[in-house]
């Protein structure tokens, strides 16, 4: 067992636990832990410590944090001297009676869903409470690139295999038919084939591979004695990657294989980057500037690396709905999930029944769909949904999303609305918050990247203060100007390379703003 983080938060404060969370994140990154697992560990740590500091009585005077790697598992131990609570009881997980469903409302259900094992020991006269969260480490074996050798001559096939087996995983086939049958059910990184073989020869094999989607782009090398201008032209016309004439040395064969595979990897990265760019362009947010007597404005900063913020709206006869989604992750897969969730949410929006709480109803359905869908259940996201009506009423619902900000001429405050992350608990219900806005009052929706972009906890608090202050200072300016001024604060004091950041401003114009009637 190796202890990689051991920190005691004394006194037990949100600032101290935030500093420790940063230490945990840095340690996991340095040890090559995936973003997905690191996010789970950090979220569970945050939820457990938030419960200790906000919902226990007496609250602890210290929280001892220990992160360990042992026996193929990551273990997070939290010791404290506050009120005992047992997050492992099934009835508590179902009712969520230990955590409030606020500030993300993730609590017990999140901890249960995002860990492989939870243990809890109540404190005694001589010991503290001890919560242990465990995650199994998925062992990914280092794999060599795979090469299929297609050669009818046994001695040549064994020689080529001997040349390549130290650097590659080699599979053998004695003719074209055997190779084609193998490739219909298995994937390889490279095919090296002779040309002249009984039955299906190398030329026919390459042509047959063009008819199968999974082998169309498989790198291909001809290694043959058959060298004539006609044969060479015919082979090169099939789009092969190299043509080697026997006899060939071990070094020449290895060099060719490595060069072809490197080129294939470059092409894959280029294609991936193009897909990433196309998806990013497809996710470019937009909102109607005026609808149902509501003005809107948004600004965003996109890192371009995975995940992302998604803004979707629906303009119905009765209301304008706006949804702000934050997809976690920093790779191309996360970008794909952003696109997939965008389509999923768009479909849910347009199949909602009109009622008094369309935003809450949307999140109810989104959460169940996220839990049932094998693809979408693999990603963590937060979502804030708002519905705006002609008379100035706005209904807000949140699924693990940062609290919206209400800006009035008399000051600004965070709104008390929250709910569990989507896809964590079956039958999750989201309680909407309804407000009647007056002309001159505004609502700000945003993703956590707006405040999380600063380096230290102190800097993040300063950034949050300055953003809220700028929202207040610019509350009399047009929405577009105000939102840009806010993002200027973010650009100056934050680091937009760390995470995507989006802010949306909403303002009611008065019941007769559009018609101009008295």
pLDDT tens digits, residue range 412-436? 999 989 888 887 777 788 999 999 9
Rounded average pLDDT over 53-77: 89
User: Could you give the strand order of the β-sheet that contains 129-136, starting from the edge strand earlier in sequence?
Assistant: 2-9, 63-70, 73-80, 129-136, 117-121
Give CA–CA dist 371/425, Å, rounded. 7
Predicted local distance difference test score (pLDDT) of residue 34: 79
* Fold adopted by 2-136: Heat Shock Protein 90 (3.30.565)
Query: Is pLDDT of 511 > 90?
Result: no
Owner of token pair 């500037």:
289
Tokens describing residue 335? 């970008």
Is there a contact between 441 and 471 (Cβ–Cβ < 8 Å)?
Answer: no
CA 358 centroid distance within chain: 26
Rounded average pLDDT over 331-346: 64
Is there a contact between 502 and 450 (Cβ–Cβ < 8 Å)?
Answer: yes
Highest mean pLDDT among 115-129, 168-182, 300-314, 446-460: 168-182
Give CA–CA dist 207/224, Å, rounded. 17
Rounded average pLDDT over 457-474: 88
Query: pLDDT tier at 281 (50, 70, 90 boundaries)?
Result: low
Query: pLDDT tier at 145 (50, 70, 90 boundaries)?
Result: very high
Sorted by where each begins, the domain ranges of the chain are 2-136, 146-276, 284-508
Rounded average pLDDT over 72-80: 93
pLDDT, tens digit (0-9, with 9 covering 90-100), for 444-457: 999 888 887 666 66
Give CA–CA dist 193/429, Å, rounded. 60
The answer to whether domain 284-508 has CATH 1.10.3430.10 is no
Predicted local distance difference test score (pLDDT) of residue 100: 40
Considering only residues 463 and 295, tell me which one the structure prediction assigns the higher pLDDT: 295
Predicted local distance difference test score (pLDDT) of residue 179: 95
Is there a contact between 431 and 397 (Cβ–Cβ < 8 Å)?
Answer: yes
Highest mean pLDDT among 69-73, 132-136, 332-336, 500-504: 132-136
Tokens describing residue 311? 């803004």
Q: Which CATH superfamily is domain 146-276 in?
A: Response regulator (3.40.50.2300)
Tokens describing residue 333? 């897969």
Query: Is pLDDT of 509 > 70?
Result: yes
Q: Which secondary-structure segment (H or E) carries 93?
A: helix 90-95
* Bridge partners of residue 324, in order along the sequence: 311, 384
Query: Is pLDDT of 280 > 60?
Result: no
Is there a contact between 193 and 242 (Cβ–Cβ < 8 Å)?
Answer: no
Q: 3-class secondary structure for 274-337?
A: HHHHHHHHHCCCCCCCEECCEEEEEEEECCCCCCEEEEEEEECCCEEEEEEEEECCCCHHHHHH
Q: 3-class secondary structure for 232-289?
A: HHHHHCCCCCEEEECCCCHHHHHHHHHHHHHHHHHHHHHHHHHHHHHHHHHCCCCCCC
Query: pLDDT tier at 291 (50, 70, 90 boundaries)?
Result: very high
pLDDT, tens digit (0-9, with 9 covering 90-100), for 106-121: 456 668 777 889 999 9
Predicted local distance difference test score (pLDDT) of residue 515: 37
Exposure on the CB side of residue 106, measured as CA atoms within 13 A = 27
Percent of the chain with pLDDT over 70: 81
């Amino acid at each position: 067992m190796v202890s990689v983080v051991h920190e005691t938060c004394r006194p037990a404060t949100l600032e101290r636990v935030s500093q420790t969370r940063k230490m945990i994140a840095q340690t996991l990154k340095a040890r090559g832990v995936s973003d997905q697992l690191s996010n789970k560990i950090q979220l569970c740590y945050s939820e457990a410590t938030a419960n200790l500091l906000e919902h226990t009585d007496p609250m602890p005077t210290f929280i001892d944090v220990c992160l360990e790697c042992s026996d193929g598992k990551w273990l997070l131990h939290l010791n404290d001297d506050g009120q005992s609570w047992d997050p492992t009881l099934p009835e508590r997980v179902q009712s969520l009676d230990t955590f409030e469903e606020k500030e993300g409302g993730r609590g017990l259900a999140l901890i249960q869903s995002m860990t492989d094992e939870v243990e809890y020991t109540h404190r005694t006269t001589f010991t503290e409470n001890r919560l242990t969260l465990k995650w199994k480490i998925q062992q990914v074996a280092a794999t060599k690139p795979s090469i299929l050798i297609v050669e009818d001559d046994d001695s040549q096939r064994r020689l080529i295999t001997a040349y390549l087996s130290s650097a590659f995983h080699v599979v053998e086939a004695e003719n074209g038919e055997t190779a084609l049958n193998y490739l219909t059910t298995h994937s390889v990184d490279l095919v090296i084939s002779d040309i002249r073989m009984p039955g299906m020869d190398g030329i026919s094999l390459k042509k047959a591979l063009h008819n199968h989607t999974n082998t169309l782009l498989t790198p291909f090398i001809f290694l043959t004695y058959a060298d004539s201008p006609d044969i060479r032209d015919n082979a090169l016309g099939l789009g092969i990657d190299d043509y080697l004439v026997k006899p060939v040395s071990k070094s020449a064969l290895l060099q060719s294989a490595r060069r072809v595979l490197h080129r294939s990897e470059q092409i894959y990265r280029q294609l991936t980057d193009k897909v990433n760019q196309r998806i990013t362009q497809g996710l470019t947010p937009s909102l109607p500037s005026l609808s149902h007597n509501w003005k809107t404005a948004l600004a965003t900063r996109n890192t371009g690396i995975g995940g992302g913020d998604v803004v979707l709206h629906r303009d119905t006869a009765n209301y304008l709905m706006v949804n702000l989604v934050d997809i976690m992750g920093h790779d191309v897969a996360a970008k794909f999930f952003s696109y997939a969730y965008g389509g999923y949410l768009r479909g849910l929006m347009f199949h909602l029944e009109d009622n008094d709480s369309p935003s809450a109803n949307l999140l109810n359905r989104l959460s169940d769909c996220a839990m049932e869908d094998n693809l979408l259940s693999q990603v963590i996201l937060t979502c804030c949904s708002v519905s705006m009506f002609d008379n100035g009423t706005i209904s807000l619902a949140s699924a693990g999303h940062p609290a919206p900000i209400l800006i009035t001429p008399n000051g600004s405050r965070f709104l008390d609305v929250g709910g569990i992350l989507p896809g964590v608990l079956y039958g999750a219900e989201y309680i909407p918050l309804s407000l009647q806005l007056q002309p001159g009052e505004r609502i700000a929706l945003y993703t956590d990247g707006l405040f999380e972009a600063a380096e230290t906890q102190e800097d993040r608090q300063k950034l949050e203060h300055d953003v809220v202050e700028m929202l207040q200072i610019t509350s009399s300016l047009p929405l577009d100007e105000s939102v840009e001024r806010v993002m200027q604060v973010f650009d100056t004091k934050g680091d937009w390379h760390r995470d995507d950041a989006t802010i949306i401003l909403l303002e009611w114009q008065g019941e007769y703003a559009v018609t101009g009637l008295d």
